Structure 1
Amino acid sequence: MAYAEKVYKVRNGQRTKQFTWRVMYKAPDGHSPAWLSKSGFQTKKTAEDWGTEQERLIREGTWIDPAKQTVTFGEFARIFMASRKKRGRTVGTRWDKLEKHILPRWDGVPLRKISWFDVDTWQQTMDLEDVSRGHCVSLMSTIMTAAMDAGYLTVNPLFGRRRTKDTSGDAARPKAPKIQRDGGPRPEDAVLLAERLGPAVGVHVLTTAFGGLRWGEGLGLHRDNTLLTRRQPWGSGVFECPILRIAEEYAEYQERDEDGRKKGYVLKLEPTKNDGSTRDVDVPPFLAQLLRHHLADWPHPRIFCTPSGVPWRRGNWSRLFRPACDGRQEREKRQGVAYRAAWEPILPGLDMRALRALHDTLQSELGVKEPLAFEAAGHRRPGIKRHYQKPTSAMRAERLDGLEETYWRAMRNVGLATMWGRVDLRKRTAESVP
């Protein structure tokens, strides 16, 4: 039960007759100290009423510890980041958003003084793409929800709110697409690009375009998980096909300590992005044939790596990949420099993400059923249907037939019969040589 007591003012070391009131109220169970106080009330009743209100809030579970009421967004954001053990790339991305965009505005603002009006006004002024603004606000909301769960706030003012989007001036104009072609990349582009880059890199391109692997998943693909066999009942028999088992991926990011201090860029092998990403991808016959040939020639455990056996860094990959897509000028031979032929552009702006998107586009074009389309892409299907509908052998056979036909039609369209000038993509044994 809250009670009030006098607090006499002191002047020159002597107590005077002037006083104010201090209230003492019972803290929640387990709190140290067990009793809390607040001074400066002018009347006994005001002090007792305030203490009684605090005890009511404690009973209802909506009381905020006074020690937490002055905590700033920046202070709690650092607590949040230290307590959330995410994948390295996720942690790095969150720190980048905090340091570059969020903390410069909100670092010293007390949590309880942050309102949706102020946040919505601020995000409209950010010199970023709209999707990046949304990611910043979403991260702020996640941190504010954690602050509420930790007893720093009674409500998250950002939760469930819809951002105001700038529709004036240049903001209303559509942004120029990265790939300057309606419909995006074609299977023919993937074939031409793979042919240009050669067997070791070209098979990586085709696996992405016709298998839908993410960039990091392709780098992490181990030969022990390549061309395993799926066996599944089908009618009175068994359906079999080769698969790629996606169980891990490489992530390149700037490593940080628990306080967010930068430690340098690293390339690490990590678990897949989420439970939907860990999957077995069915491989069409043409790609299985190319992969068998590649496995026989490639000496390294990771089948899509540099010739020296280390994972591709994004910068090194771009120096190889961009000229193949965008084209390049002829380079004359001179002392110390080899001749380099000119390349006509295949599709400027094409990247590995667009090739992964091509696979999903092909699945839609071929009418691949949703249970299998989501599985092959590594997406977690939303809704109750993911618990009821499962990929069947008939669905798998239909998808593989469609991808196989799409590949060979693309080969015919670009005038190729084989990849990389080989007469037969299958490895010839000594006994088969005349």
Structure 2
Amino acid sequence: MAYAEKRGTGKNPWRARYKKPDGSLGSEPGFRTKRAAEEWGEDQEAAIRAGRWRDPDKARTLLKDFVPIFMEAQKVAPSTVIKRKRLLTRHLLPAFGDTPLCEINVFTARAWGNKQTCSPVTVGHALTLLSMILTAAADAEYLLANPMYGRRRQSTDRAVHDATQRQGAVEHHDEDEEVWAQPDQAYRLYKRLGGVQGLMVLSDCYLGLRWGELAGLHRRLALIPKTEMLDGEPWERWCLRIDARVGALHEVEFELSPEELIEWHRAEDARLEACREKGWKANRRKEPKHQVRLYLGPPKNRTSARDVDLPPFLVDLWRAHLESWPHPYPFSTPSGEWWRRGNFGKGLRAAADGRDAIPRKRGFAGREEWKPILTGFTMRGARHTHDTWMKEDRVDRALRFETMGWAVRGDIEGTYEHVTPAMRKHRLDALEARWRRGVELAARAEEAPSGS
């Protein structure tokens, strides 16, 4: 039976004593009266008998002590692990690391989020991760429940009101919308970039693949013929296949192991010694904490492993490209290496946003000026482009979702609808028409006098 003990002579001298499930005595200090301590202890023993008790000592575990337990229990992609570690080290642990789990609630989380000056998206991701940690704490019986579960967060994109401003209106900043392309813009980017880079941009506009799915595509999965019956006659189409095991290129920042750090220091010592032998001045580089690695792995989710149909014009372009391309991955660099997202983006940025001319000089061939074609366009924008085109062409939802690799959960319509050959033909015909229209519009713009 629970009882109270008086400890000291302060404002809250009483502590509750109660019997834990393992037979040991639990203790909770901080009560002003004997009766309050006894009632609290009796409530704990009642919760134990009812099977709903949570150890108050576990609830007082600091967030920084529970985070390693949470991270160890997760089974996620390496890139997700890196993102979570970054959110923890840069945002959550500095703010809540020394806070007991039981003292983190919606109010404290919102108050922290409202003070942050980083991107609202980053704040949202950090708060989502914090809620996931509290849910795991409840599952591990550290807490009775996650106090943040199901609670809607306050908007972080409201206008900032300045009471000292006497003139003008409060400025509202709209969220940046992903830039998508028209057919003629996609064609102009293709022609300007040329080579494998131009073909990658054009292909993504007409296929809607994720960056890793396109960059990691193997040539044996690039052009696969399929024949189906359409209106009583055989109908042939060509498709690419995103493999379920190695269908995407991943670019992930890994922490270096102790063995890898030793190897790095050995290589750095060899580099410095070689420089000294040649009489060169060289300083020791800073020891790296992480290393970016490229590898092939599964695509984003289960439904991302799929076949995507190619329009006829793209089949011809791909076939010509494959015949002259000596490497196993059709969309690798000209030397056969996998693209790094940032390196590819540099070329696309110049082609889409424009660039200044550099005159020819000794040792440099110079370069011509490029006028902007579509400022802010990215490979993610190419994926947006393809879905926008399919929506505009009234491609059936079932085929849109299959093409984009989207999962449909809890949707009756998605359960009972299926993709037919007629749907596929409609999409391919619409894309072929877009290609012809884009070529025609781009040719017209080229022939038009400058400034008209």
Q: Distance in 1 between matches of 2:59 and 2:406?
A: 41
Q: CA deviation at 1:234?
A: 3.4
Q: Is the 8 A contact 2:304 2:405 kept in 1?
A: yes
1:413 paired with 2:441, answer: yes
Q: Distance in 2 between matches of 1:42 and 1:173?
A: 51
Change (3 A) 1:203 1:21: closer
Q: Distance in 2 between matches of 1:190 and 1:44?
A: 78
Report what 2:217 is aligned to.
221
Change (3 A) 1:160 1:8: closer
Q: Is the 8 A contact 1:7 1:22 kept in 2?
A: no
Change (3 A) 1:43 1:178: closer
Q: CA deviation at 1:244?
A: 1.1
Q: Distance in 2 between matches of 1:115 and 1:268?
A: 40
Q: Distance in 1 between matches of 2:106 and 2:6?
A: 40
Report what 2:274 is aligned to.
none
Q: CA deviation at 1:69?
A: 2.1
Change (3 A) 1:94 1:22: closer
Structure having the higher strand fraction is 1
1:252 paired with 2:280, answer: no
Deviations 1:305-343 (A, max 9, x none): 111111111232123221111112222222221232222
Report what 1:392 is aligned to.
420
Pick from 113, 120, 124: which aligns with 1:134?
Answer: 124
Q: Is the 8 A contact 1:72 1:108 kept in 2?
A: yes
Q: Is the 8 A contact 1:194 1:205 kept in 2?
A: yes
Deviations 1:219-255 (A, max 9, x none): 1111111111234443434443111111221122322
Change (3 A) 1:74 1:389: same
Pick from 335, 350, 362: which aligns with 1:308?
Answer: 335
Pick from 310, 314, 320: which aligns with 1:287?
Answer: 314
Q: Is the 8 A contact 2:159 2:173 kept in 1?
A: no
Q: Is the 8 A contact 1:371 1:381 kept in 2?
A: no
Please show how residues 357-368 of structure 1 align to structure 2 within 5 Å: 357-368=384-395
Pick from 144, 152, 160: which aligns with 1:162?
Answer: 152
Pick from 69, 78, 103: which aligns with 1:88?
Answer: 78
Change (3 A) 1:320 1:22: closer
Q: Is the 8 A contact 2:17 2:41 kept in 1?
A: yes
Report what 2:194 is aligned to.
198
Deviations 1:87-132 (A, max 9, x none): 1222222222222222221111111001211111221222133333
CA RMSD of aligned residues (A): 3.0
Change (3 A) 1:172 1:233: farther
Please show how residues 174-193 of structure 1 align to structure 2 within 5 Å: 174-175=173-174, 177=176, 184-193=180-189
Q: Distance in 1 between matches of 2:97 and 2:365?
A: 54
SS at 1:390 equivalent: coil
1:332 paired with 2:359, answer: yes
Report what 2:269 is aligned to.
none
Q: Distance in 1 between matches of 2:416 and 2:365?
A: 60
Q: Is the 8 A contact 2:222 2:240 kept in 1?
A: yes
Report what 1:100 is aligned to.
90
Report what 2:24 is aligned to.
35
SS at 2:364 equivalent: coil
**TM-score with structure 2 setting the length:** 0.79
Change (3 A) 1:21 1:138: closer
Q: Is the 8 A contact 2:249 2:294 kept in 1?
A: yes
Q: Which amino acid aligns with 2:442?
A: V
Q: Distance in 1 between matches of 2:192 and 2:159?
A: 44
Pick from 97, 113, 134: which aligns with 2:103?
Answer: 113
SS at 1:169 equivalent: coil
Deviations 1:332-382 (A, max 9, x none): 222221232222221121111111110010001100010011111111134
Q: CA deviation at 1:55?
A: 3.3
SS at 2:113 equivalent: helix
Q: Distance in 2 between matches of 1:7 and 1:178?
A: 64
Q: CA deviation at 1:21?
A: 8.9
Change (3 A) 1:290 1:21: closer
Deviations 1:29-81 (A, max 9, x none): xxxx5534338799998877655433322343432224412212222223212
Report what 2:19 is aligned to.
25
Report what 2:275 is aligned to.
none
Q: Distance in 2 between matches of 1:231 and 1:59?
A: 67
SS at 2:443 equivalent: coil
Q: CA deviation at 1:198?
A: 1.3
Q: Distance in 2 between matches of 1:127 and 1:21?
A: 43
Q: Is the 8 A contact 1:328 1:342 kept in 2?
A: yes
1:243 paired with 2:234, answer: no
SS at 2:64 equivalent: helix
Q: Is the 8 A contact 2:357 2:367 kept in 1?
A: yes
Q: Unaligned 5+ residue runs, structure 2?
A: 9-13, 162-169, 258-287, 445-452
Q: CA deviation at 1:23?
A: 4.3
Please show how residues 141-160 of structure 1 align to structure 2 within 5 Å: 141-160=131-150
Identity %: 38
Deviations 1:130-182 (A, max 9, x none): 33322222111111111111111111111111112252327961337477xxx
Change (3 A) 1:149 1:39: closer
Q: Which amino acid aligns with 2:232?
A: S
